[in-house]
Structure formats: structure tokens, C-alpha cells
Amino acid sequence: MASSNGVVKGWDEHDLGVLRLPSGRLVRGRGLRYALDPAAPTPSYGVYLLGDGPPEVPWASRWVRWPDFRLPADRGEARDVLTDAWERAVAERVEIACGGGRGRTGTALACLAVLDGVPPREAVAYVREHYHPRAVETPWQRRYVRRF
């Protein structure tokens, strides 16, 4: 949703699933299994972390093949897509989503936190404190963030 001057209004940091990164960037994490609140703003860009292709959405988006409880099939592509999402979050409403919104989404949000300056060994704790206490579900997802 663009304002009259063409600038996209960002997320409200108090909305469900919105994570504020240390730089001030706001990114929304979400589980695709749950209905989107019709009153909530829509993203201008989405990154969908799924084993199979994502649902059609009316905004720009990227799909990263990332099976549930696993790691991305192509780690280089995942890094490129997450870096792009982090850069876009300066001026766009970026959404990161998987099926449940915790494991893969939490892992990706922790990677964005690393890009934003959070030390890799602290990024999972940061996301658990500021997004969801059970984000980043598996030991290999935690290791992936540490090595991101």
C-alpha cells in the first residue's frame, strides 16, 4: 500500500509476527497454514520457504525450496533471496513465511538478524525473544544460522 508520495508504508511493529531488527527494519514472519487477517496490510514482497511451490499471491515473491524441518535445498540461492529480502525491508513490507511460521521462518529471520549485525551465535536467541519463543526448531537449523 503506497502513500500519496509513492513510498510504501511499512509494517506496524506491534502487529502479530512483525520482527524489528536492530537497524529498525521491520519484517513479518507468518505461518501459511493460518488465515491472513483481512484487515492486516499485505506485503509488498514475500519469501516463501516450502518444499513445494507456494500459493499464488498478488505481490512480488520468491520461493525457496526448503522442506519442513530441513535446510534449504540450495543454500547459495537461499542466501541471495534472504539478502534481497533484508535489503528490501528498508522501504518495503517484507514477509517471510513457511507452513507453520516457526522453524523455517524463524531460521530465515535469524539469518536476516545476522545480516543486520546480530552475531551469528546470538541470532537464534534474538529471534526467539523478539519473534517467537520456539522459532528455529532443529539443531541443524541452529547450526545453519551460526554458519550463515
Q: What is the pLDDT of residue 84?
A: 98
pTM above 0.75, yes or no: yes
Q: What is the pLDDT of residue 39?
A: 86
Q: What is the pLDDT of residue 31?
A: 97
- The structural domains of the chain, ordered by start, are 18-147 (3.90.190.10)
Q: Which of 38, 7, 10 is nearest to 94 (CA)?
A: 10
> What's the CA gap between 80 and 38, in Å, rounded?
31
pLDDT along the chain (148 residues), means of 10: 51 95 98 90 97 93 96 97 98 98 98 98 98 97 97
Q: Quick check: helix, strand or coil at residue 21?
A: coil
Q: What is the pLDDT of residue 8?
A: 56
What does the DSSP assignment read for 82-148?
A: HHHHHHHTTTS-EEEEESSSSHHHHHHHHHHHHHTT--HHHHHHHHHHHT-TT-S-SHHHHHHHHH-
Residue with cell 519484517: 27
